[in-house]
Structure 1
Amino acid sequence: MTTSLTTIKVEKGVRDQLAEVARSRHTSMRALLAEFAEQAARDQRWAEIDAAYTRLQDDPEQWADYLAELDSWDKGTGEADELAAEEWPEYQQ
């Protein structure tokens, strides 16, 4: 697998901060930036989820429908799932 690399321009102070953090974590700036990018992507996904919940709550009818659906999922059938019990016997103890 080949890795495609590129160059980015950042202020010297930012570069120095990144280098210091990388050094303190005993990692490379490349690995540190990859970690930061993954965290930023996770933060963005959760922000979008939070915004979607906010929009849903702004409509009382849709929010009530959502909560009713959650409740129905939580209740399930009320009966034991024999197929699941056979498939995962370790959870039946």
Structure 2
Amino acid sequence: MGILIGMTATLATIKVDKEVRDQLAKVARSRHTTMRALLADFAERATREQMWAEINAGYARLQQDPEQWADYMSELESWETATADADDQAAEEWPEYQQ
């Protein structure tokens, strides 16, 4: 049996094992939602996890080259120094956000 997914007018059918479908249906029922919404949530979470995995892998590659890592850290430091004054100015301009 297929599961329909899609939040727009276009729907796609995917085939999953009956056991997987039943697991998804059980979780969806326990969360008082639909399998469509559950799958959309899972897809969003997987996308976010993938993005962070790629970011972390990029940092790991960068750290393997001590010179490039030092350059990166130096650039970060310069940004922190440059934005310190801007933060003080913003606090003065928008005191309602300082509560």
TM-score category of the 2 structures, normalised to the smaller one: 0.7 to 0.9
Matched, 1:59 2:65: yes
- What percent identity do the matched residue pairs reach? 72
Residue correspondence of structure 1 range 1-80 to structure 2 within 5 A: 2-76=8-82, 79=85
Calculate the TM-score normalised by the size of structure 1.
0.84
2:34 and 2:84 map into 1 onto residues whose CA distance is 53
Per the TM alignment, residue 84 of structure 1 is displaced from its structure 2 partner at its CA by 3.6
Per the TM alignment, residue 72 of structure 1 is displaced from its structure 2 partner at its CA by 1.1
* SS at structure 2 position matched to 1:27: coil
Post-superposition, which runs of at least 4 consecutive aligned residues in structure 1 deviate over 2 A? 77-93
Calculate the TM-score normalised by the size of structure 2.
0.79
Root-mean-square deviation (CA, aligned residues, Å) is: 2.4
Cα deviations across residues 1-29 of structure 1 (Å, max 9, x unaligned)? Answer: 95211111000000000000000000000
1:88 and 1:68 map into 2 onto residues whose CA distance is 30
Gaps in structure 1 of 5+ consecutive residues: none
Query: How many residue pairs end up in the alignment?
Result: 93
* SS at structure 2 position matched to 1:76: helix
Read off the aligned partner of 1:56 and give its amino acid letter.
L
Q: Indicate the structure with greater strand content.
A: 2
